[in-house]
Structures are given as C-alpha cells and as structure tokens.
Amino acid sequence: MKTDVLVIGGGPAGMNAAIEAARAGASVTLVERQAHLGGQLVKQTHKFFGWAEKGAGTRGIQLAEEWSKAVEEHENITVMLSSEAIGLYDDGAWMIEKEGKLIPIYPKKVVIAVGAQEKTLPIENADIPGVYGAGAIQTMMHVYGVLPGEKYLIVGAGNIGVILAYQLAQAGAEVKAVVDVLPKLGGAYWVHVTKIRRMGIPLYMKHTVIEIKGTKWVEGATIAEIDEKFQPIPGTEKELDVDTIAISIGLSPLTDLMYQAGVELIWIPELGGLVPVHSENMRTNKPEIYVAGDASGIEEATTAALEGKIAGAVAAKDLGFDVNDEAIEEWKKELSQLRDAPLLERLRQGLHKLHEAAKERGLQ
C-alpha cells in the first residue's frame, strides 16, 4: 500500500496532522491502534482552557467527535482502525498489524503521533488487580461504561489525578484520598484542585503509598508522610479502606518506533524523559519522519493538536504540495502563547533544551 503521508496515532495530534496534510492535497493514511479515533480526548470530559474564539470551553470528548468526523469525511484520508504500527522494515515498509494480518505501507513521509505511556509505581503488589493507571480507569469509565471499584486512592495530584478524582465522584465512587510526594501542588491547575477540595475529597501532600494490601486483589492501602529524602516518617501511617488504586505519577513519550527508525532521542526530564530531537516545524533528523503531540514531549491536548497541524502541513509542504506558510506561523504563535503561562516554567525549560539541541544539529 502506498501513501504520501502515513500518520501513526489517531489522537489530537494525529487527527490534526492528517487533516492538514490532506487539506494540502496529500494522500494520507491514518492508523490507530484502538477501534475508534480520539486518543486520550475520550477521557477528557472537562472543558478545555484556551481561546474562546478557537473552541475553548469545549470538552475533550466533543473535540474528539468533531475532529474524527473531519478525518472520516475527508476524501484524501484513509483511516485504519484497530491497526498497530509495529516497526519499520529495511525496504522502507512500515508494518501495520490489523486483526492478525500484516499490512506493509510505503509512505513518502511519516508523522509519528503515538502519544505517551503512564509511569508505573515501583512498589510491592502494584501488579495485583485493583491497581490501575489513572488513564486505564478513565478508559474503563468513559469508553466502556465500567467503574472498576468503589473506594479509591489516587497516587499523584497532577492534572490527571485531580481530574480523575472529580470524574470518579461524578460516577458515584468514593475517593478516600489523593496523595502526592511533593510538598506543594506541582503541575495541576489550581482550579482543577479547588473543584475536588470543595467537594471534601482529602488531599495529602508530602505523602505516598507505602503498602498495598491484599493478595488476589486490592484490600486496602497504607499511606504515610515523607521527609525531604522522600522516606516515610514512622508514626505518620494512615490505613485507607480502598479497593482500587489509581496511579497518576506522570507520562513518558512512546519512543519505540522512533528509536527503531533512527530518530535521535535525548533525555529531557521536563518533557517526560526520552524525547525525539525535533525543530519547531516538527522535523526530526530523519528527513522522512515528523513527530507531534505527547510522543514529542509531554504537554496537553490543545498543544498536541497545534503540533499535529504543523507536522501535517510541513510534511505536505516538503512533498511539494502548496501549503499556506502564514497558517503554520500562526499555529507556532498560538503554541508560544499557550506555553506562556507562569505555571509552565518547567515545560519552557524543557522546550528550551530541546530547541537548543535542534539548533545545534541544524534542524529546520
């Protein structure tokens, strides 16, 4: 199968990359591992921040619907669902596995927008039923209509942790505690935290989970206060009667495909760990490969969508299609405005390192 642009990943970055490349006239194949488009937007029932003129106030789930409709209706885009990109072969084939069959795709350009994975907690019993990534619980609730437990402990008070607490309360579950090792709020927007505090959901900062009880499934947990060296302080233990533990201690980009394809990766903790070196135009050291969204560095859906637009348009432009350069510059401007918030200082430090690395390598 041949295509001008192969987009891997059907989340906010991938959908927008596909739309913009197709708009420029390129033939696009979009592969998505799940049976539906939308990526992590399907978990985001809250209204998004941003410009009201550009859709702020819209919930993530509504954006997923709008963008998937635009993708599915575009005549230049072929969508392959339940399809996973598993590797790049020597003859230039990107191998897609769909329902047990292998389908080689020969694209001229590839946008990798595969997103991120949740970090796990290295603690005994973290592998028994009842311990989940926060995102897994959101998928169960929002995609499959299943509430995996009744009484929850959430580990990690970033945006995902506190939003999950709110969603669980909406679903009628009881959130016994949200804990975080930091002495004060880190990446969470305060308004997302105030929402759960006024409902009476307990938040324990400078605390961590020290024991997960149970053998066949979760039967409780113990949390404790920690000192400056992140060690539990004896005597501060609290027993929690919970049947489910949600881990939301951060995300790291999914870089396996990039690594295999020879995209240069560098370690930038502020962006989630190993990230692909890329320019503002989302180009990498491999001239046929572009990146976008969380796979290129952890941020959020609004910035992922803008990066996707840039990657899709630039990929089409590099193939000789007619692309509106002003639009690309406008998206870059929007990105820098969104990243301008004081709260995002750490992110900006990470992006600075990334841009310096890209500059050193002469990436345009």
Partner 1 sequence: MLPVDGIPTKEDILAKAPPAERMKKGAVAMIECWQEIPCNPCVVSCPTGAITMEKLTAIPQIDFDKCIGCALCVAACPGLAIALVDGSKEDGDRVSIPYEFPLPEVGETVDCLNHEGRVVCEGTIEKVVHLPAVNKKDKTPIVTIKVPKGYALQVRFFKRR
Residue numbers of the site for partner 1 (CB under 8 A)?
46-53, 55-59, 62, 162, 169-170, 183-185, 188-201, 203, 205, 337-338, 340-343
Distance between CA atoms of 313 and 340, rounded to whole angstroms? 24
Cβ 156 to partner 1, closest distance in Å? 14
Calculate helix-pair angle for 301-318, 12-23, nearest 10 degrees. Answer: 30
CA distances from 363 to 13, 281, 284 (A): 21, 9, 7
Q: What minimum distance in Å lies between the beta carbon of 235 and partner 1? A: 21
**What is the smallest separation between the CB atom of 252 and partner 1, expressed in angstroms?**
24
Altogether, the residues listed in the chain come to a count of: 364
Over the range 205-227, which residues count as b (16 or more CB within 10 Å of their CB) and which as e? bbbbbbbbbbeeebebbebbbbe
Choice between 170 and 260, CB closer to partner 1:
170
Cβ at position 119, least distance to partner 1 in Å: 23
Q: Which is nearer to partner 1, 29 or 303 (CB)?
A: 303
Q: How far is CA 230 from CA 6, 248, 293, 347, in A?
A: 44, 17, 32, 23
Residue 196 vs 313, nearer CB to partner 1:
196
Work out how close the CB of 197 gets to partner 1 at its nearest, in angstroms, rounded to a whole number: 5
Q: In whole angstroms, how far apart are CA 102 and each of 88, 261, 300?
A: 12, 18, 32
10 Å Cβ neighbour count for 89?
A: 11
Closer residue to partner 1 (CB): 101 or 198: 198
Q: Judged by CB, which is closer to partner 1: 112, or 240?
A: 240
Instruction: Tell me whether residue 187 or residue 214 sits nearer to partner 1 (CB atom).
Output: 187
Helix (H) or strand (E) holding 197: helix 190-197
Q: Least distance from C-beta 147 to partner 1, angstroms?
A: 15
In the Cβ-directed half-sphere of 215, how many Cα atoms lie within 13 Å? 0
Beta bridge partners of 30: 7, 79
Which residue, 105 or 175, has its beta carbon nearer to partner 1?
175
We find the least distance from the C-beta atom of residue 362 to partner 1, in angstroms, to be: 31
